[in-house]
Amino acid sequence: MNRPNRPKPTLMPSREQGIALFTDLYELTMLQAYRELGLAEREAVFSLFVRRLPPERNFLIACGLDRLLGELEALRFGPGDIEYLAAQSFKPDFLDWLAAFRFTGTVHALPEGTPFFANEPVLEVIAPIGAAQLIETLAINRVGFETIIASKAARVVEAAAGRPVIDFGGRRAQGHDAAVEGARAAFVGGAAATSNVLAGRLYGIPVAGTMAHSFVQAFTDEMEAFRAFARIYPDTTLLVDTYDTVEGVRKVIALAREMGAAFRVHAVRLDSGDLLALSKEARRLLDEAGLATVQIFASGGLDERKIAGLMVAGAPIDGFGVGTDMMVSADAPAVDIVYKLTEFAGEGRMKLSAQKRTLPGRKQVFRTTIDGTAEGDMIARYGEPLPGEPLLAPVMRDGVRLEPSPPLAAVQARARAEIARLPRALRALEPAAEPYPVAISPALQEYEAEVREKIAARNVQPKA
Amino acid sequence: MNRPNRPKPTLMPSREQGIALFTDLYELTMLQAYRELGLAEREAVFSLFVRRLPPERNFLIACGLDRLLGELEALRFGPGDIEYLAAQSFKPDFLDWLAAFRFTGTVHALPEGTPFFANEPVLEVIAPIGAAQLIETLAINRVGFETIIASKAARVVEAAAGRPVIDFGGRRAQGHDAAVEGARAAFVGGAAATSNVLAGRLYGIPVAGTMAHSFVQAFTDEMEAFRAFARIYPDTTLLVDTYDTVEGVRKVIALAREMGAAFRVHAVRLDSGDLLALSKEARRLLDEAGLATVQIFASGGLDERKIAGLMVAGAPIDGFGVGTDMMVSADAPAVDIVYKLTEFAGEGRMKLSAQKRTLPGRKQVFRTTIDGTAEGDMIARYGEPLPGEPLLAPVMRDGVRLEPSPPLAAVQARARAEIARLPRALRALEPAAEPYPVAISPALQEYEAEVREKIAARNVQPKA
C-alpha cells in the first residue's frame, strides 16, 4: 500500500480557519494596549529559541515552519471570532482593527530539517509589535511540537540502523492534529512511512498497515484468518502473536506449503513478548522452511533504546513499527522553547532574570565545517561577516512566503544529510560527553553587555 | 476577562470534516477484507480500556467522550478521501461502500468526569465489525488524550488546595487540537480557566490573561509599563519579574501611591525565581504598604509537586498558572489505552498473550459505596444484577446520540464530586499503598475461562 510522495490534494477543508483565536488571551490584551498607546505599529524583533536541550537530546531538528507560514498567510479573525471577543470586553475600535488584521511581518528561519542547539534562533520575526506579539502562541506551538517529534524520530531511526521505521503512533498522539503533524515530523526525522491515513493524504507520506489482532480473533481459528487475508492481499504482512507467536509463524509456513507458488506473503509481524528470542526463532523456522524472503517486522511498545538493544543483540528484524513513545516523544514531551522580544523601536531588549538569557537584537547563526563535519556554531549579530554557513534564511517578507514549501522528501533528505554532518558523538543515543560548541560572537557579547547595562540602569536600583 | 460558561458559537467551521481518514491504514485494509468475506455487517463488541494506570496515577478521569460522539455522528468519507484511497489501491466496490458509510453503532460509556481504573471499560461499542473496527484510532485518540489531561489536571488542582489553577499550556501543547481539547479536559479536571482563547470560544471556558514580559520590555522602564497597563486595565494583574521581582513589587506599590483611589490592580504575578521566598517577600511588602487585597499569582514551570511544596511551605500564593507540565501530562504523556474485540458473531473473543488480558463479551462496572466513600468496583458481565451503581450508560444508539452533551460546568462538577467520593489515599499525589479494589465478578471469570479454553483448543497446540 506504500506510494511515493504525491502532491497535496485540493479538496480538504482549510485547516487554517479559526486559527486566529489560537492565541493566549494576554496577547490580545497587550495588543489592545499597544494600540491605545500608539505603539502597535512600531517594529519589533522576536526570536524563537530553545533555552536548554532536553537531557537526552544532543541536538534538535527544526520542523514545523511550513505549516506556521501557511497559517500566518491565512490568519484572519472571522465574524464569530470578533463576536466572541466583543463578549470578552474588548473595545469596538480594537475589534474593527482585528477584523481587518493581516500578518505583514518578515520571517527569517532555519530551514526545516536543520539540526540546531540551545539559544540559537530557530526563527526571527520582524514585524509591528502588535502583529509579532499576536502570533507567539501559534509560533511556539507549531515549531515546538514538530521539532520535538522530528528530533525524537531521528533517534529512533538512528537506533534502527538502516531498517525502516514506520510511525504507528496516531492513536496515542495527543489529539489528531498531533497525530497528523507528528507523522509529518517523524517522516522529516527519517521515518519511512506512517499508518495514519489522514497524514498520508495531507502530506503524501507513504502509508502502511495490514491487520490487527481483531481480524485474527474474528475467525474461529488463526489459520483461517491468515488464509483469508493472504488470498485478498497476497503480498501482505501477517500478524502472528494473537495467541502464540511461534505457533503463528508455523501457521504461516503451513500456509506457504498450502499455497505453493501463489504464496507471496511479504512479512510476519511480532507485536508482543520477547522480541529478540521470538525474532530469532521465527527467522530460524522461516529459513528452515525455505522462506528466507519472508521478512520479520516488530512492533509493540518500542522506543530507540529497545530498538538499539535488539540491534546490538543481533535480532533478525527487518523493520520496526514505533507508536506511542515516538509520537508523544515520551522522554521529552515538551522542550523549553520560547519567543522573546529582542528589539523594539530600534533598541535591543532583554530580560534580566538570571538563567533566562535573551540575546538582544537581530541575529544570524554560522556553522563551520571541517572535512565535512560541523565543528561549531557561532551566534552573531545580523549583518556580521563571519566565516561558515549562515543558517537563518528569509522565508517570508511582508506577510508573503518567499518560496513554496519544498517537497517533504527533500526536507527529509536535508535532515538526513545535516545529521550526517554532525560529529559522531552527537548522533549517539547517549548524551555526548562534550556538547556541540555554540559560541556567541564578540560583537554580540558586546552588544548584550551594552543593552543589559542600559536596561539595568533604568530598571534596577543598585543593591545596597 | 473571565466569563461564565457560554453556549457554543455556531459560526466555527465544522471540525469534523476530514476526520474519517483519521484512522490507521490497517483498519481500512481489514474492513475491505471483512466486506469481501461477507463479515463486515456481523455484530461485534469492542471495549476501550486502560491496561495499567501510569505509576503516578491512583485513578484516571474519563474524558473525551463528547467530541468522539459528535465525530461518530458526523463521520463521512468525502470525495477527496475516496480519491486518495483509490490511489492506495482500494477497490471500487469498497470505495462506493465507504462513500455511503455512516456510523450506526451503539455506544455505552462512563460519563465524562467519572474516575476509573485499569481494565474497566471506558466505553463499549456494539456495531457491525466493519464500523466498529474503523473507529478504533479515533476512539483511542479522543478518549485517551482528554483522559490523560483531565487526570493530570485533577492532581494539579488537588495540590493547589483550593487556589484556582489556570491553564497556561496552549503554546507547549502537542498541536492546537491538543491545546484546545486539553484546555477542555483540564477544566473538567478542575482548572478554573484557560489562557487559550480558542478553547474559550469553543467550550465557553473562562479565559484569563493580562501581560507578558515583552510588554514591560517595550517600555524604557518598567514603571512606565505598569502605569500604562493599569490605566487601560485598572483591575489587571501586573507581571513583576522581568528585571527584578522585588523591585517590580516595589514599583507596584509606588504605582498605588501615585494612583491613590484609582488604584485597583488585582494581583501581581511571579513567573521565575524562588517562588516561596519571593511570594513571602512580595506579601510582606504589599501588606506593609496597606495593599493586603492585592493577590499574588505564580507561574513558571509549575507542576503538582512544586505546587504542593509551595503550599506545604506556606507560600502566600493565591492562584497558579500551570502550563507545559499539565498540558502534555509530562510525567505520563500517554497511557496504555486499547480498544479490543471482545465479542463477535455472538461469541466471546480474547487474545491469549500473557500480560495482555482482555475480558470477553459485553460488560458493566458496579461501584459500591459505604458512608459516601467508594469502596470498590466489580467488572461484571452485561446484565448481571449486582449491587452498587452501574457506571456504564448508553450514550449512542444506532449512530444517534441519546442526549446532548451536558454543560461543561456540570461535567467539572461531576468530576469534583466523584473524586471526592474516592478513598482519601487515592487522592494523594503519591501512589496509594493499596490500590483501589477492582474485582471481576465470578460469572465474568467463569466466562473468561470458558472463552479462553475454547480459543486455545482451536488455536494453540498443547506444549509437548
Work out the percent of chain A whose per-residue pLDDT is above 90: 92
pLDDT reading at B458 higher than 60:
yes
Nearest CB to A201 within list B3, B13, B84? B84
Interval B93-121 mean pLDDT: 97
Residue appearing with cell numbers 489501491: B89
B29 and B145 fall within a common domain: yes
Interface test with A, best of B52, B88, B197, B329 (most A CBs within 10 A): B197
pLDDT reading at A5 higher than 60:
no
pLDDT in tens, B150-182: 999 999 999 999 999 999 999 999 999 999 999
In this complex, is the C-beta atom of B10 within 8 Å of any C-beta atom belonging to chain A?
yes
pLDDT of residue B352: 85
Alpha-carbon distance B58 to B436, whole Å? 8
Cα A224 to the center of its chain, rounded Å = 41
pLDDT of residue A461: 72
Report the candidate in A374, A119, A175, A67 with the shortest Cα–Cα distance to residue B329: A175
pLDDT reading at A14 higher than 90:
no
Pick the range with the lowest mean pLDDT from A9-18, A212-221, B31-40. Answer: A9-18
CB contact (8 A) between residue A141 and residue B171: yes
Alpha-carbon distance B414 to B114, whole Å? 7
CATH number of the domain that residue A283 is part of: 3.20.20.70
B342 and B358 fall within a common domain: yes
Domain annotation covers residue A333? no
- Cβ burial B431-446 (10 Å sphere, 16+ → b, else e): eeeeebebebbeebee
Alpha-carbon distance A158 to A163, whole Å? 9
Which residues sit opposite A239 in a β-bridge?
A269
B114 and B202 fall within a common domain: no
Domain boundary among A327, A362, A389: A327
pLDDT in tens, B254-308: 999 999 999 999 999 999 999 999 999 999 999 999 999 999 999 999 999 999 9
Interval A252-268 mean pLDDT: 97
Interface test with B, best of A50, A75, A77, A171 (most B CBs within 10 A): A171
A168 and A239 fall within a common domain: yes
> pTM of the full predicted structure?
0.95
pLDDT of residue B80: 93
A385 and A268 fall within a common domain: no
User: Angle CA(A333)–CA(A334)–CA(A340) in degrees, nearest 5?
Assistant: 175
Which residues sit opposite B44 in a β-bridge?
B127, B344
In this complex, is the C-beta atom of B137 within 8 Å of any C-beta atom belonging to chain A?
yes
Alpha-carbon distance A229 to A242, whole Å? 15
Interval A141-149 mean pLDDT: 98
3-state secondary structure of A129: helix
Interval A177-198 mean pLDDT: 97
pLDDT of residue B354: 64
Cβ-based neighbour number of residue B294 at 10 Å: 24
Read off the C-alpha cell for A292. Answer: 528466507
Alpha-carbon distance A20 to A74, whole Å? 9
Cα B26 to the center of its chain, rounded Å = 27
- Cβ burial B203-237 (10 Å sphere, 16+ → b, else e): bbbbbbbbbbbbbbbbbeebbebbbbbbebbeebb
pLDDT of residue B6: 36
B6 against B81, higher pLDDT: B81
Interval A300-306 mean pLDDT: 97
Shortest CA gap A380–chain B (Å): 22
Alpha-carbon distance A408 to B191, whole Å? 39
Residues of B in contact with A232 (CB under 8 A): 32-33, 36-37
CB contact (8 A) between residue A460 and residue B201: no
Q: Which residues contact B274 (CB under 8 A, 6 or more apart)?
A: none
Domain annotation covers residue A107? yes
Q: Which residues contact A20 (CB under 8 A, 6 or more apart)?
A: A75, A76, A77, A78, A81, A101
B33 and B85 fall within a common domain: yes
Report the candidate in B389, B446, B353, B376 with the shortest Cα–Cα distance to residue B110: B389
| Residues 296-325, chain A, touching B (beta carbon < 8 A) | 324-325
User: Angle CA(A191)–CA(B19)–CA(B132) in degrees, nearest 5?
Assistant: 95
Domain boundary among A301, A327, A353: A327
pLDDT in tens, A341-393: 999 999 999 988 767 789 999 999 999 999 999 999 999 999 999 999 999 99
Interface test with B, best of A229, A350, A459, A461 (most B CBs within 10 A): A459
Query: Average pLDDT of chain A?
Result: 94
- Cβ burial A113-133 (10 Å sphere, 16+ → b, else e): bbbbbbbbbbbbbbbbbbbbb
B432 and B395 fall within a common domain: yes
pLDDT of residue B434: 92
pLDDT of residue A3: 36
pLDDT in tens, B33-72: 999 999 999 999 999 999 999 999 999 999 999 999 999 9
pLDDT reading at A275 higher than 50:
yes
In this complex, is the C-beta atom of B95 within 8 Å of any C-beta atom belonging to chain A?
no
B188 and B323 fall within a common domain: yes
Interval A290-312 mean pLDDT: 98
Read off the C-alpha cell for B177. Answer: 487540537
Domain annotation covers residue B439? yes
- What is the domain count for chain A? 2
DSSP state of B24: B
Encoded amino acid at A229, one letter:
F
Shortest CA gap A58–chain B (Å): 20
Domain annotation covers residue A405? yes
CB contact (8 A) between residue A32 and residue B213: no
Domain annotation covers residue B5? no
Nearest CB to A33 within list B1, B144, B228? B228
A183 and A321 fall within a common domain: yes
Domain annotation covers residue A5? no
Do the interacting molecules here have an ipTM over 0.90? yes
Q: Which residue of A has its CA nearest to B209?
A: A26
Shortest CA gap B190–chain A (Å): 20
A461 against B261, higher pLDDT: B261
pLDDT of residue B463: 54
Shortest CA gap A90–chain B (Å): 9
Residues of A in contact with B170 (CB under 8 A): 22, 24, 137, 141
Domain boundary among B327, B347, B378: B327
Q: CA torsion, points A101, A104, A107, A113, in degrees to nearest 10?
A: 60
CATH number of the domain that residue A345 is part of: 3.20.140.10
pLDDT in tens, A23-78: 999 999 999 999 999 999 999 999 999 999 999 999 999 999 999 999 999 999 99
Which residues sit opposite A411 in a β-bridge?
none
Shortest CA gap A195–chain B (Å): 5
Residue A341 · residue A352 · CB < 8 Å: no
CA–CA distances in Å: residue A171 to residues A179, B73, B244, B298, B309: 7, 19, 45, 35, 35
A360 and A223 fall within a common domain: no
Alpha-carbon distance B192 to A176, whole Å? 25
Band of residue B79 on the pLDDT scale cut at 50, 70, 90: very high
pLDDT in tens, B327-352: 999 999 999 999 999 999 999 999 88
Interval A278-282 mean pLDDT: 98
In this complex, is the C-beta atom of A16 within 8 Å of any C-beta atom belonging to chain B?
no
pLDDT of residue A29: 97
Query: Average pLDDT of chain B?
Result: 94
Interface test with B, best of A41, A174, A207, A340 (most B CBs within 10 A): A174
pLDDT of residue A17: 60
Q: Which residues contact B99 (CB under 8 A, 6 or more apart)?
A: B77, B79, B82
Residue A363 · residue A124 · CB < 8 Å: yes
Interface test with A, best of B31, B34, B215, B217 (most A CBs within 10 A): B217
Alpha-carbon distance A154 to A189, whole Å? 4
CB contact (8 A) between residue B328 and residue A330: no
Q: Which residues contact A7 (CB under 8 A, 6 or more apart)?
A: A204
pLDDT of residue B17: 61
In this complex, is the C-beta atom of A91 within 8 Å of any C-beta atom belonging to chain B?
no
CB contact (8 A) between residue B33 and residue A133: no
Alpha-carbon distance B423 to B434, whole Å? 11
CB contact (8 A) between residue A324 and residue B341: no
Instruction: Number of A to B CB contacts under 8 A, please give it.
Output: 370
A189 burial level (CB within 10 Å; 0-12, 13-18, 19+): buried
pLDDT of residue B40: 93
pLDDT reading at A167 higher than 60:
yes
Alpha-carbon distance A111 to A406, whole Å? 10
B198 and B62 fall within a common domain: no
Q: Which residue of A has its CA nearest to B454?
A: A220
pLDDT reading at A449 higher than 90:
yes
CB contact (8 A) between residue A177 and residue B177: yes
Domain annotation covers residue B317? yes
B323 and B217 fall within a common domain: yes
CB contact (8 A) between residue A137 and residue B171: yes
Domain annotation covers residue B355? yes
pLDDT in tens, B345-385: 999 999 887 677 899 999 999 999 999 999 999 999 999 99
Work out the percent of chain A whose per-residue pLDDT is above 70: 95
3-state secondary structure of A160: helix
Q: Which residues contact A358 (CB under 8 A, 6 or more apart)?
A: A47, A340, A341, A342, A349, A350, A351
Domain that holds residue A396: 19-149+339-459
Cβ-based neighbour number of residue A257 at 10 Å: 11
CB contact (8 A) between residue B29 and residue A458: no
In this complex, is the C-beta atom of A273 within 8 Å of any C-beta atom belonging to chain B?
yes
Residue appearing with cell numbers 484512522: B23
pLDDT of residue A16: 54
CB contact (8 A) between residue A217 and residue B344: yes
